Amino acid sequence: MATEGNIHARPIAIQPAPAGPYVHEAHHPWLQHHFDSMTQQAEASTLGMWVFLVTEIMFFGGLFMAYLVYRHASPSGFQEASHHLNIYWGTANTAILIISSLTMALAVRSAQTSQPRGTQVLFLFLTIVLGLAFLGIKAIEYTDKFKDRIVPGPNFHWEGTHAKAAEQFYSLYFAMTGLHALHMIIGVGIMSVILVMAWWRIFDEEYYTPVEVAGLYWHFVDIVWIFLFPLLYLIGRHYHAG
Amino acid sequence: MEITTVGLNYLNNGYGLKSWLLTKDHKRIAILYLLSITGFFFLGGFFALLIRLELLTPAADMVQPDTYNKLFTMHGIVMVFFFLIPSIPATLGNFLLPIMVGAKDLAFPRINLLSWYIYVLGGAFTVVAAATGGVDTGWTFYAPYSTSASNSHVITAGLGIFITGFSSILTGLNFIVTTHRMRAPGLTWFRLPLFVWSMYATSLIMILGTPVIAITVLLVAVERGLHLGIFDPALGGDPILFQHLFWFYSHPAVYIMILPAMGVISEIVQAFTRKNIFGYAFVAFSSLAIAIVGFLVWGHHLFVAGQSTYAGLIFSILSFFVAIPSAVKVFNWTATIYKGAVSWDSPMLYAFGFIGLFTIGGLTGLFLATMGLDIHVHDTYFIIAHFHYVMVGGAIMGYLGGLHYWWPKITGRMYPEGWAKFAALTVFIGFNLTFFPQFIVGYLGMPRRYAMYAPEFQVYNVLSTAGATVLGAGYVIPMIYFIWSLKNAPLAGNDPWGARGLEWEIPSPPPTENFVVSPIVTEGTHQYAPSREVGIGH
């Protein structure tokens, strides 16, 4: 064990941090002790959410990969199966999610610009209502599939030429839209918490990170649907006469 | 060593169970992880012991073949998912990363604690699966056996892996954000310790790969539970898709195990040769290169699985590429040791062991990346020996070396150096005795995953079992003297090795907030020679 290696000065100066722009911010009630400034805290939180969304892309990616492989393996079967999805409900849900992205963006904006509580709460409330409307329509669609017995499993019943591929299509349909719906449910839960925080007048131009981070998540879940909708409802639809 | 007292630190700042189970201090969470992974290490080691005992004789005379299948499966699951993957990142990384970047904690302390609870929950599922009868699919869960044929607890074990994956994802997320956003003033990327670079590269793999294995084992569980046709060809699924998805994570997972150990070795080699690393930027970037190229080589696990020869060719070439950044590291460590003032302390013994064994493990990896040779040795003991040289000879040697190197920092106390040297030597001898014969017997054609084997292979298996006994002793000895040292060994002081870096500037054990005053960094944090800082980043 050698201790005599310190032949020259230590490279790191441990000294008090400079007093300056951070000192005022250090007293903000929502600054956690291990951050130096509100800016650092906000940057860490948003980067954290971005990194999390990367993991979400990879998580959904496995399912998209499976979809590509099986669509490639049985294109006509997938077209036949796709035709039994209700394109009107699907389109309505796409519109609902796009509008909810707008209300979400407005909610972030209103927190960022210190709008009155009423405005912040209104936009969050609209976002939640639209999210619930999406889930309601999804529930109607799922019920129809159960009624038509096109839920994969022992009772799967298919009046067409590609029963096997259709069952696979619906396996993927339920796995992908189910995972997406789970994310929507979690999103509605998060938005409810954010709404309560907004009601408590927590957000203003100095501190709006939770709204912003929740908004990133909400937009991501919307974008996943923007991919799911054409893959499941639209592709090859016009080729199929049935 | 006249130090007789320690100040207020993270260890004596509260003693109750609650102060540990609800802690947000990265150092305490590191200790929680250390205790839990040690438990899983000895559980996995217990399964290994039973495997080696069964293989002492050619006949399946100690356990039934069915039981044997469960033993090697549980050994693999526990060692890979519950020991090796969290080993260095969740313990040493958790403890050191915030200190090395000059921060008070990781960016998300609550998420850090959450990751430990998720790990424990996933571990509980696995223990339940083991206790209620085990799994017999192999740790690879190949479909359709796992989804349709096996009668064992595949869903329970799969959910355990699914859950634990999220602890790994959250750790990686925390490390990435901390490295980007929590560095002290003046601590530029190219002043960071190489351990931080390797943690960063590891974290990239954790966040990009783990979600894929999560969805894959979830699909296995869903297919098994609901009979959906995803992987089972009888139901219209594609079993090769399972192998692609599985190895898309599980090959990079090997780099989750080895990259942190490489980071540890980079630190130890500098400290015990009193030299700056040779080619800092090369070593730093080779970590990123391994992480990136490592994602493009998974197909070399599918050479005999029905993948096209053309795809096999591409994966073979890409697998050769990943050897380049690995070799860069080995050459740069060697060049660092060259003409260095080498001190033969126990961490350095582990570093020497690592460099030698990893080189053997890495070079035999090139054999396996060669398609023609791989067809000959595929699923033999050759591959068992190869990946144990990387995972045990590499990752665990690095883990033990790092644990010895930073033990004085973590606990504030030294350990008996004589015993530590003896243990390091025991591990090295036991390891080679266990696994080198497996290269030979594998090349001669002994297949993996059988309880029985041809009688002419017995001599190699006896050697291997004898080696495993020595290796086991080599792992138990450190545990004894580490526990002993907590009360009895001399206090370490801030920097017992004369090493460089922010972690050696602060007291041992560190205070809860790490730095009483925030550090300002003015040059590379590991300067063993004054004028050798790399020019990049200035």
Q: Is B397 left (phi over 0), alpha (psi -120 to 50) or beta?
A: alpha
User: How close is the nearest chain B Cα to the Cα of A12, in Å?
Assistant: 5
User: What are residue A13's DSSP bridge partners?
Assistant: B520
How many Å apart are CA B440 and CA B434, to the nearest integer? Answer: 12
pLDDT in tens, B234-288: 888 899 999 999 999 999 999 999 999 999 999 999 999 999 999 999 999 999 9
| Nearest C-alpha in B relative to A171 | B228
Search chain A and give the residue with CA nearest B103. Answer: A34
Dihedral of alpha carbons B199, A183, B122, B431, sign: negative
Of A5, A34, A54, the CB nearest to B207: A54
User: Do A205 and A113 meet the contact criterion of CB atoms below 8 Å apart?
Assistant: yes
| pLDDT band, residue B531 (cuts 50/70/90) | very low
* Cβ under 8 Å to A: B residues 381-410: none
Q: Is the link from the previous residue into B193 a cis peptide, with omega within 30 of 0?
A: no
Q: Which residues of B touch A3 (CB under 8 A)?
A: 495-498
CA-based max dimension of chain B = 73
Does residue B126 contact residue B144 with C-beta atoms inside 8 Å?
A: no
Judged by DSSP in three states, B468 sits in helix
Half-sphere exposure of A138 (CA within 13 A, CB side): 23
pTM over 0.90: yes
DSSP label at residue B537: T
Task: Give the closest of B236, B496, B515 to A164, CB-based.
Answer: B236
Largest CA distance in chain A: 85
> Which B residues in the span 170-199 are in contact with A, Cβ-Cβ below 8 Å?
172-174, 176-178, 180-182, 185
Q: For helices A117-147 and A209-229, give the axis angle rounded to 10 degrees.
A: 30
CB B71 within 8 A of CB B139: no
Query: What interhelical angle do B397-411 and B346-369 show, nearest 10?
Result: 150
Read off the pLDDT of each residue in B498-509 and give the average, rounded to a whole number: 92
Name every chain B residue with its beta carbon within 8 A of the beta carbon of A65: 241, 244-245
Is residue A68 within 8 Å of residue B241, measured between CB atoms? no
DSSP state of A204: B
- Give the number of other CB atoms < 10 A from CB of residue A148: 12
Fold adopted by B20-505: Cytochrome C Oxidase; Chain A (1.20.210)
Residue A207's DSSP bridge partners are A204
Q: What number is the average pLDDT over the span B375-381?
A: 95
pLDDT band at B226 (very low <50, low <70, confident <90, very high): confident
pLDDT at B508 over 80: yes
Confirm if B389 and B360 have CB atoms less than 8 A apart: yes
Q: B14-43 burial, b if ≥16 CB within 10 A, otherwise e?
A: eeeeeeeeebbbbbbbbbbbbebbbebbbb
Residues 470-499 of B with CB under 8 A from A: 495-499
From the CA of B207, how many Å to the nearest CA of chain A?
5
- pLDDT score for A113: 95
CB contact (8 A) between residue B228 and residue A1:
no
CA of residue A172 relative to chain centroid, distance: 19
**Sequence-ordered strand ranges (E) for B312-403:** none
Once rounded to an integer, what is the mean pLDDT over residues B408-431? 97
Contact B489, B414 (CB under 8 A): yes
Within 8 A of B498 by CB-CB distance, chain A residues are 2-6
DSSP designation for B465: H
- Tell me how far apart the alpha carbons of residues B326 and B358 are, in angstroms, rounded to a whole number: 9
The pLDDT of residue B364 is 96
d(CA B490, CA B378): 51
What's the pLDDT score for residue B60? 92
- Give percent of chain A with pLDDT exceeding 70: 87
Which residues from chain B sit within 8 angstroms of residue A51, using beta carbons?
Answer: 172-173, 176-177, 207
Distance CA A116, CA A131 (A): 23
B376 Cα to chain A: minimum distance (Å): 30
Provide the sign of the torsion angle of the four alpha carbons A42, A44, A45, A47, taken in this order. positive
Q: A80-117 burial, b for 16+ CB within 10 Å, e for fewer?
A: bbbbbbeeeebeebbebbeebbebbebbbbbbeeebee
Chain B residues within an 8 Å CB radius of A2 = 274, 343, 497-498
Q: d(Cα B474, Cα B29) in Å, to the nearest integer? A: 27
User: How many contacts, defined by CB atoms under 8 Å, are there between A and B?
Assistant: 158
**Mean pLDDT across chain B, nearest whole number?**
93
What average pLDDT score do residues B29-36 get?
97
Sequence-distant (6+) residues with CB within 8 A of B309 are: B371
pLDDT digits (tens, 9 = 90+) for B444-459: 999 999 999 999 999 9
pLDDT of A25 above 60: no
Q: How far is CA A66 from the centre of its chain?
A: 21
Q: What band does B369 get if pLDDT is binned at 50, 70 and 90? A: very high
| Under 8 Å between Cβ of B526 and B270 | yes
Within 8 A of A17 by CB-CB distance, chain B residues are: 185, 517-518, 520
pLDDT score, position A20: 44
In a mutational test of the B interface, the residue from A54, A58, A179 whose CB has the highest number of chain B CBs within 10 Å is A58
pLDDT tens per residue across span B108-163: 999 999 999 999 999 999 999 999 999 999 999 999 999 988 888 999 999 999 99
Q: Comparing A42-51, A112-121, A233-242, B196-205, which segment has the lowest mean pLDDT?
A: A233-242
Q: Which helix (H) or strand (E) holds B283?
A: helix B280-293
Alpha-carbon torsion, ordered B204, B207, B208, B211, to 10 deg: 160
- Cβ of B530 and A8 within 8 Å? yes
The CATH superfamily holding the domain A59-239 is: Cytochrome c oxidase, subunit III, four-helix bundle (1.20.120.80)
> Environment class of residue A156 by beta-carbon count within 10 Å: exposed (0-12), middle (13-18) or buried (19+)?
middle
B527 touches chain A (CB under 8 A): yes
Q: Check residues A120 and A159 and name the one with the higher pLDDT.
A: A120
Question: How confident is the model at residue B530, as a pLDDT?
Answer: 59
User: Distance (Å, rounded) from C-alpha B393 to C-alpha B387?
Assistant: 9
Average pLDDT, chain A: 88
Work out the number of other CB atoms within 10 angstroms of the CB of residue B456.
11
Which tens digits make up the pLDDT trace of B39-95? Answer: 999 999 999 999 999 999 999 999 999 999 999 999 999 999 999 999 999 999 999
Write the residue in B107, B216, B528 that is nearest to A62 by C-beta.
B216
Per-residue pLDDT at A238 exceeds 70: no
Of B34, B16, B141, B8, nearest to B482 by C-alpha is B34
Q: Write out chain A residues lying below 8 Å of B527, CB-based.
A: 11
Integer Cα distance of B483 and B496 in angstroms: 19
Reported as a pLDDT band with limits 50, 70 and 90, residue B422 is: very high
Rounded CA-CA distance A82/A234 in Å is: 8
Q: What is the pLDDT of residue A24?
A: 44
Task: Measure B371 CA to nearest chain A CA, in Å.
Answer: 25
Read off the pLDDT of each residue in A74-96 and give the average, rounded to a whole number: 93
Integer-rounded Cα Rg, in Å, for chain A is 25
Cα distances from B322 to residues A27, A65, B313, in angstroms, run 49, 25, 15
Sort out which chain B residues have CB atoms less than 8 A from A34's CB and list them. Answer: 103-105, 109, 182, 513
Minimal Cβ distance to A59: which of B211, B238, B241 = B211
**Buried residues in B500-524 as b, exposed as e (16+ CB within 10 A):** bbbbbbbbbbbbbebbeebbbbebb
- State how far the Cα of B168 lies from the Cα of B252, in Å rounded to an integer: 13
Neighbours of B261 (CB within 10 A): 31
Write out chain B residues lying below 8 Å of A59, CB-based: 211-212, 214-215
pLDDT of residue A2: 39
Q: Which residues of B touch A36 (CB under 8 A)?
A: 518
Contacting residues for B237 by C-beta, under 8 A, at least 6 apart: A168, B143, B144, B147, B223, B229, B230, B231
DSSP β-ladder status, B519-521 and A12-14:
antiparallel
Tens of pLDDT along B287-324? Answer: 999 999 999 999 999 999 988 999 999 999 999 999 99
Phi-psi category of residue B388: left, alpha or beta, with phi > 0 → left and psi -120 to 50 → alpha: alpha
